[in-house]
Amino acid sequence: MRFGLAFAFAVMTASGASAQVTELEAPGILAPTGDPGCMTMTTADTRLSPPDLALGVLACGKAGNWDAAAELYILMLLRSDFDVRRVVDATAHQAGQVLTLQLDESQSEADRASLGEAIRRFADPTTTQRDILCQMLQTSGVPQHDPSWMIQHGMAAFTALEGDGLVPGFDPAAGWEQVMRETVACQ
């Protein structure tokens, strides 16, 4: 499975009857750095990017391990949120949503339903799985993955990106704590 997205620009003529489309794609856009296979959240390396984790979700689904798939899916979303907080280019911030759409499109309807059911068990604050999820997130460690998968998704990748694309002075530990507190409501 290839995760990627091409930017298309259309230039309409005065009559609006025709369009010229040019596709541009930055290297590394939504690209995984490796295929980790199926694993649990607690064994997921902090260097795995959201696209890497998406491949893990697919591997777990193929193996019928929907709880592990749900863990990796949630971790993928949270690491995407972490990257939104540390990547400067606001036009790159929808990369996680695009990745999620591509992942969903690559699964059958039955697989999406099985994954959704597993995710609901983790999302329910009245279950012990929710507490387990928060404990796993706290012990999983601060993400250390390369954010280029998101940086390359933004317009700055095409228009003279200055610097490394990261928010100056971003504190990864504080950023991850903020994701856990605000996005997942883990205390």
Tens of pLDDT, residues 129-180: 778 888 888 888 999 999 999 988 777 766 766 778 889 999 999 999 999 9
Residues in the chain: 187
Phi, psi of 18 (to 5 degrees): -140, 160
For residues 102 and 37, give the distance between their C-alpha atoms in angstroms, rounded to a whole number. 18
* Residue 143 Cα to chain centre, angstroms: 12
Does a structural domain hold residue 118? Answer: yes
Q: What is the pLDDT of residues 57-100, one digit of tens each?
A: 999 999 999 999 999 999 999 999 999 999 999 999 999 999 99
Does a structural domain hold residue 26? Answer: no
pTM for this entry: 0.82
Does a structural domain hold residue 10? Answer: no
Does a structural domain hold residue 20? Answer: no
Range of the domain at 139: 33-147+160-182
Name the domain count of the chain.
Answer: 1
